[in-house]
């Protein structure tokens, strides 16, 4: 069975193509969204998903979230003396999704299509594949999130020759894509975005706004208080609307005043972020050569696009109301599942061909003649420009710069900066050339970039016929076979809670965290109910436990809707 | 197949200027040659398709191709923009010129460049692109001129980074490279690219300022109202009287003898230093009794550096007093005069700024604790 996975920064979702349509798969908590959070107990027990998210409020130092932002980097998280990489943490999330899906479908899952931001570079893409491999999955194809979103919005029903734009504001990433659908072809014309911009930044703005108004310095808060602040403000952010200003009573245990925050204040604070958001949109339009008026449809994806002023900003820019009819949190998983169906050559889908673009520029470094102070380093010479349809193969010629130069060493870079030092070095290729005057010997450098993000660099010296080929797939930061084995052993040591155990553990943790943030009279109530629940647990009757768990969950839910942490 | 038939022979259709039939032909072909199955053939078809579209695009729109000429007058205001936009552009250029040639202090202050943010409000994308280009051309041209003549920049990197955040030049260099000479990039983009970390700091600064400016002005006033001159005066009196009591207890005889003045001043200074450094609120005894507190400009605790500045200034101001009580000479008279001048200056400051010299120099405020 092949499934589609949306491996998100804050939440992950999986879906499957079955009976001719995409179906979302609920997790063990009967929810479609599994929070991308992992929490470690002392002694090797771990919590993943909802349980980890709840636990993170109580034990922020033992919990990790938003690690997707660091995929493909050297960053590690040290918890209880063990180091974990973002790849390993992602693999735990994937493993959890698979386990839950297998439980739900009663079928073995061997293969998946995982979505990644269009903006992800080669290294980040292979890191994602590694994570899947660690979880025991085969992943041949990654799908760009906007492409998945476009597919989810049912291309078959669209009139031919539709140009549309996908704006995806997730928890931690921002993606924009412009596509055209015609005659069964889905052509991506341009894609771009910002890897460090997302809904969390909007939460951060509200946090700063609150702290400034409440006269609290962030140095006054410990890790636990900060976590509490984050979750509470996150809740408030959802409630904030133009007709209902926020009133936040002191809740952090430090001296503070009651703070009122109006929608206008918040909107004004977010102005800088909104300006940042407009940049990739304009860049994409420019790259695709289209005018805003030529875009027929705009689709908003990602949980953070629910914020009113995102919608109004897009409406103002394009003078069209964007579409949000599929739940923006689930759109990408639906698209990934449809793609999985396409991959399995399921005939239900018809014959759609996808053409994608390279979201970044690939090239090499050349000597900068104008750099008199020699402070800038090499200049970037693009070979495959960003938003070129893939697979693409392009060739450029480079000449020697010194007399009797014996070798040409060419680095391979990815990025958009004019100076190579600000781009990402993917590798290098060295060829020998016969001795000659500067500028007389030449190398033809061919870059071939395939649809799976694999880059082949071929250097050819016409005068000697020498040829050298470098394949960029062993990018820096990527794991070797040996390291994969080591990771597998390390992760195997972790004890994952049995399914039912975890549900109950999550309930108890939730009760504890609500207790911590409640007032005296509520506390007694919670303690009473918790002890009732624990008494039932001791009798070990699964049926009784199940009904009691439901009751207890409803009881807790009441506290949450009454304003958790308020 | 000859060159003449490209791209139509690859697309397997007759020459046409109908976009839809080109797309249809392309769709039929790439379904046969899918990108994952026949990458080479797919690329050939794809390139032919792009080529065909470009040829009909050029026919219909008459694309203006900019020449890479030495005289940089490529960009001029065309009548394709409406009057409103023309006005925006004129005003922007006038402002830009004014600020570019203003005093260094004004020029380096980012606040004076916020007029550029009008760019965000413009809806016409083409017009936006044009503005970004014009500003780039102006800034780069001026910087290059000064760099050639005086080896320095007219507009410094910090401002360049700020401008780049608005106009996004660093992602357009490939296009600009075809319009402007290489030297233009050395005096602009390379400084921006070399200072990426600075970009982050300006962003944070800017970001926090955005939050502060969105808050109602009420909180800003607090600092002005809470300067408390009368209370300070009384706390000063307490501080002045205290050493007298201490002196009485230590040695009554000494109190009436000649040296008592010196000891008095020493005890006065000593008490202040000890209390202001050791206490939580950094206040002297008089201030503690009257519940006054020394704070930073954002009402937080003052830093070690600020404490240090306060006391250095205080010591310099008070030392001459020691000599008042000793024998006077011409030299010492000068000191006393200097001391008197500072005293008078302090009184004037008290009326104009409601604070004293050492407060001003260490940028601290004295406020009520409640």
Please identify which residue in the block is written with the tokens 């401002």.
B159
Interface test with B, best of A286, A344, A349 (most B CBs within 10 A): A286
The alpha carbon of residue B43 is apart from the nearest alpha carbon of chain A, in Å, by 6
Residues of A in contact with B299 (CB under 8 A): 215
Query: A1-153+326-350 in CATH: which number?
Result: 3.30.420.40
Nearest CB to B211: which of A269, A356, A382? A269
What is the number of other CB atoms lying within 10 angstroms of the CB of residue A347?
A: 9
Cis upstream peptide for B331 (omega within 30°): no
Selected for mutation to probe chain A from B211, B213, B297, B370 (highest A CB count within 10 Å) is: B211
What would the pLDDT profile of A242-283 be if each residue is shown by its tens digit? 777 788 877 777 777 788 888 888 888 888 888 889 999 999
Give me the total of CB pairs closer than 8 Å, taking one residue from chain A and one from chain B.
116
Cross-chain residue pair B194–A376, CB shorter than 8 Å:
yes
The pTM of the full predicted model, rounded to 2 decimals, is 0.71
**A162: β partners:** A181
ipTM field: 0.74
- Return the closest-CA partner of residue A186 out of A161, A206, A212, A166: A161
Q: B27–A419: do the CB atoms touch at under 8 Å?
A: no
3-class secondary-structure state, position B284 = coil
pLDDT at B215: 57
Put simply, the answer to whether A184 touches B31 (Cβ < 8 Å) is: yes
Question: Which of A202, A274, A418 would best serve as a mutation to test chain B binding (most B beta carbons within 10 A)?
Answer: A418
Average pLDDT, chain B: 75
- The DSSP secondary-structure symbol of A244 reads B
Q: Is B351 on the interface with A (CB under 8 A)?
A: no
Looking at CA atoms only, how far is residue B27 from chain A in angstroms?
Answer: 6
Q: Using the beta-carbon criterion (under 8 Å), do B210 and A271 form an inter-chain contact?
A: yes
Residue-wise pLDDT tens digits, B301-321: 677 777 777 777 777 766 666
Give the mean model confidence (pLDDT) for residues B35-63: 81
DSSP class of residue A396 equals E
Task: Give which of A181, A163, A77, A92 is closest to A131, Cα–Cα.
Answer: A92
Q: Tokens in use for A221?
A: 């808060």
User: Which among A419, A449, A456, A458 is the top mutation candidate for probing chain B, defined by the most B β-carbons within 10 Å of its own β-carbon?
Assistant: A419
> What are the respective helix, strand and coil percentages of chain A, to the nearest 5?
40, 25, 30
The CA distance from A316 to the nearest CA of chain B, in Å, is: 9
Q: What is A29-79 written as a DSSP string?
A: TS-S-EE-EEEE-TTSEEEETHHHHHHHHH-GGGEEE-GGGGTTSS--EEE
CATH code, residues A158-325: 3.30.420.40
pLDDT (tens digit per residue) in A84-131: 999 999 999 999 999 999 999 998 999 999 998 876 777 788 889 989
Cα–Cα distance between A508 and A504 in angstroms, integer? 6
Tens digits of residue pLDDT in B95-134: 999 998 888 888 888 888 989 988 988 888 888 999 999 9
Cα separation of B251 and B44, whole Å?
105
Q: Judge whether B133 and B92 are in contact, CB under 8 Å.
A: no
CB contact under 8 A, A376 and B190: yes
% of chain A surpassing 70 pLDDT = 93
Res B323 pLDDT > 70: no
Nearest-5° Cα angle at A483, A477 to A486: 140
Interchain proximity A271–B46, CB inside 8 Å: no
The residue extents of the domains of chain B are: 3-61, 83-214, 219-368
Of A377-381, A450-454, A502-506, B148-152, the poorest mean pLDDT is in: A450-454
Instruction: Quickly state the pLDDT bin for A13 (edges 50, 70, 90).
Output: very high
Determine the residue of chain B that is closest to A450 in CA distance.
B39
Task: Name the residue ranges covered by the structural domains of chain A.
Answer: 1-153+326-350, 158-325, 362-472, 499-561
Average pLDDT over all residues of chain A: 85
Q: How many Å lie between the alpha carbon of B213 and the closest alpha carbon of chain A? A: 8
Q: Which residues contact B127 (CB under 8 A, 6 or more apart)?
A: B81, B85, B89
Q: Which fold has domain B3-61?
A: Helix Hairpins (1.10.287)
| B39 in contact with A, Cβ within 8 Å | yes
- Restricting to B residues 220-279, those with a Cβ less than 8 Å away from any Cβ of A are none
What is the reported pLDDT for B241? 77
Output the pLDDT for position B211: 62
Q: What is the pLDDT of residue B259?
A: 57
Contact state of B129 with A375 under an 8 Å Cβ cutoff: no
For B176, nearest residue in chain A (alpha carbons)? A418
Closest residue in chain A to residue B170, using alpha carbons only: A417
Write down the pLDDT at residue A1. Answer: 79
| pLDDT for B224 | 37
In this structure, the strands spanning A392-399 and A442-449 are antiparallel
Chain B residues within 8 A of A208 when measuring between CB atoms: 207-208, 211
Count CB neighbours of A399 within 10 A: 15
Architecture of domain A362-472: Sandwich (2.60)
Residues of chain B in contact with residue A385, where contact means CB-CB under 8 angstroms, are 174
Judged on CB neighbours under 10 Å (0-12, 13-18, 19+), B205 is exposed
Q: Which long-range contacts (CB under 8 A, 24 or more apart) does B173-182 make?
A: B173/A418, B174/A361, B174/A382, B174/A385, B176/B133, B176/B136, B178/B66, B178/B68, B179/B66, B179/B68, B179/B74, B179/B133, B180/B72, B180/B136, B180/B137, B180/B140, B181/B68, B181/B70, B181/B72, B182/A370
Mean pLDDT, residues B248-276: 66
Residue B137 scores a pLDDT above 90: yes
DSSP string covering B63-106: PPPPP--SS-------TTS-HHHHHHHHHHHHHHHHHHTS-HHH
Q: Does B182 touch chain A (CB under 8 A)?
A: yes
Which chain A residues are within 8 Å of B213, Cβ to Cβ?
268
d(C-alpha A396, C-alpha A459), whole Å: 10
CB atoms within 10 A of CB B24: 17
Q: Which of B68-72, B154-158, B168-172 is predicted least confidently?
A: B68-72
Decide if B210 touches A, using CB distance below 8 A: yes
Pairing of β A21-24 and β A11-18: antiparallel
Note whether B219 contacts A213, CB cutoff 8 Å: yes
pLDDT at A459 over 90: yes
- B296 has a chain A CB within 8 A of its CB: no
Q: How far apart are CA A477 and CA A479, in angstroms?
A: 7
Name chain B contacts of A392, Cβ cutoff 8 Å: 43
CA distance A425 to chain B (A): 16
- Distance (Å, whole) CA A324 – CA B181: 46
């Amino acid at each position: 069975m092949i499934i589609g996975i949306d491996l998100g920064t804050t939440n992950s979702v999986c879906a499957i193509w079955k009976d001719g349509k995409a179906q979302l798969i609920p997790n063990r908590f009967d929810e479609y969204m599994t929070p991308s959070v992992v929490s470690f107990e002392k002694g090797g027990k771990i919590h993943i998903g909802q349980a980890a998210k709840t636990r993170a409020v109580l034990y922020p130092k033992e919990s990790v979230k938003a690690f997707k932002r660091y995929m493909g980097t050297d960053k590690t998280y040290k918890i209880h003396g063990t180091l974990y990489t973002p790849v390993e943490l992602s693999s735990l999330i994937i493993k959890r999704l698979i386990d839950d899906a297998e439980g739900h479908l009663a079928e073995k899952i061997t293969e998946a299509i995982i979505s990644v931001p269009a903006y992800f570079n080669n290294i980040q893409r292979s890191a994602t594949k590694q994570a899947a491999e660690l979880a025991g999955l085969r992943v041949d194809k990654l799908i760009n999130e906007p492409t998945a979103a476009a597919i989810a919005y049912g291309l078959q029903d669209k009139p031919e020759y539709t140009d549309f734009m996908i704006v995806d504001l997730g928890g931690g990433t921002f993606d924009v894509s412009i596509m055209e659908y015609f005659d069964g072809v889905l052509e991506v014309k341009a894609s771009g975005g910002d890897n460090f911009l997302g809904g969390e930044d909007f939460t951060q703005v509200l946090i700063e706004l609150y702290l400034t108004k409440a006269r609290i310095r962030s140095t006054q808060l410990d890790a636990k208080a900060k976590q509490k602040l984050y979750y509470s403000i996150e809740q408030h952010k959802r409630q904030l609307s133009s007709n209902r200003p926020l009133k936040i009573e002191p809740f952090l245990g430090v001296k503070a005043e009651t703070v009122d925050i109006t929608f206008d204040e918040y909107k004004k604070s977010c102005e800088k972020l909104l300006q940042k958001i407009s940049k990739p949109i304009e860049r994409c339009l420019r790259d695709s050569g289209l005018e805003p008026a030529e875009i027929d449809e705009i689709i908003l994806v990602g949980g953070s696009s629910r914020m009113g002023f995102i919608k109004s900003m897009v409406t103002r820019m394009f003078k069209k109301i964007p579409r949000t009819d599929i739940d923006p949190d689930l759109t990408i998983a639906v698209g990934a599942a449809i793609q999985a169906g396409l991959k399995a050559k399921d005939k239900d889908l018809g014959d759609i061909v996808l053409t994608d673009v390279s979201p970044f520029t690939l090239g090499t470094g050349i000597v900068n003649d104008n750099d008199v102070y020699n402070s800038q380093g090499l200049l970037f010479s693009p070979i495959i420009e960003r938003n070129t349809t893939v697979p693409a193969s392009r060739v450029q010629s480079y000449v020697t710069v010194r007399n009797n130069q014996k070798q040409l060493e060419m680095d391979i870079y990815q990025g958009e900066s004019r100076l190579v030092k600000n781009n990402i070095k993917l590798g290098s290729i060295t060829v020998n050339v016969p001795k000659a005057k500067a500028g007389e010997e030449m190398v033809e450098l061919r870059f071939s970039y395939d649809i799976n993000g694999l880059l082949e660099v071929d250097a050819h010296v016409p005068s000697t016929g020498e040829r050298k080929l470098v394949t960029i797939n062993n990018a820096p930061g990527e794991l070797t076979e040996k390291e994969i084995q080591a990771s597998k052993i390390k992760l195997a040591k972790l004890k994952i809670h049995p399914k039912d155990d975890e549900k109950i553990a999550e309930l108890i943790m939730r009760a504890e965290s609500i207790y911590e943030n409640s007032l005296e009279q509520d506390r007694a109530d919670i303690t009473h109910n918790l002890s009732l629940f624990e008494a039932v647990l001791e009798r070990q009757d699964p049926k009784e436990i199940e009904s009691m768990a439901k009751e207890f969950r409803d009881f807790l839910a009441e506290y949450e809707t009454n304003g958790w942490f308020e | 197949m000859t060159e003449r038939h490209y791209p139509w022979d690859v697309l397997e259709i007759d020459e046409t200027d109908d976009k839809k039939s080109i797309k249809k032909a392309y769709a039929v072909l790439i379904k046969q040659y899918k990108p994952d199955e026949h990458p080479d053939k797919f690329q050939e078809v794809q390139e032919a398709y792009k080529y065909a579209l470009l040829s009909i695009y050029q026919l219909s729109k008459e694309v203006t191709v900019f020449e890479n000429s030495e005289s940089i007058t490529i960009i001029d205001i065309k009548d394709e923009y409406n009057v409103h936009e023309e006005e925006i552009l004129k005003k922007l250029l006038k402002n830009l010129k004014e600020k570019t040639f203003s005093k260094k202090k004004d020029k380096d202050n980012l606040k004076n460049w916020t007029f550029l943010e009008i760019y965000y409000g413009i809806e016409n994308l083409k017009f936006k692109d044009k503005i970004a280009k014009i500003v780039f051309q102006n800034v780069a041209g001026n910087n290059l001129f000064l760099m050639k003549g005086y080896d320095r920049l007219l507009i410094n990197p910090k401002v360049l980074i700020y401008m780049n955040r608005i106009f996004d030049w660093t992602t357009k260099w490939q296009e600009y490279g075809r319009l402007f000479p290489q030297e233009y990039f050395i005096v602009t983009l390379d400084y921006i690219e070399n200072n990426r970390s600075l970009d982050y700091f300006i962003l944070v600064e800017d970001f926090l300022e955005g939050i502060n400016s969105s808050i109602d002005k009420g909180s800003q006033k607090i600092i002005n109202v809470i300067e408390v001159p009368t209370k300070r005066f009384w706390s000063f009196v307490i501080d002045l009287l205290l050493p007298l009591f201490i002196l009485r207890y230590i040695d009554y005889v000494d109190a009436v003898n000649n040296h008592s003045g010196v000891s008095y001043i020493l005890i006065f200074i000593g008490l202040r230093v000890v209390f202001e450094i050791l206490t939580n609120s950094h206040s002297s005894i008089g201030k503690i009794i009257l519940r006054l507190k020394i704070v930073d400009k954002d009402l937080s605790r003052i830093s070690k550096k600020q404490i240090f500045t306060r006391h250095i200034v205080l010591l310099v101001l008070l030392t001459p007093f020691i000599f008042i009580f000793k024998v006077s000479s011409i030299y010492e008279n000068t000191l006393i005069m200097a001391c008197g001048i500072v005293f008078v200056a302090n009184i004037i400051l008290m009326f104009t700024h409601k604070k004293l010299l050492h407060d001003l120099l260490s940028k601290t405020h004295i406020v009520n604790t409640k």
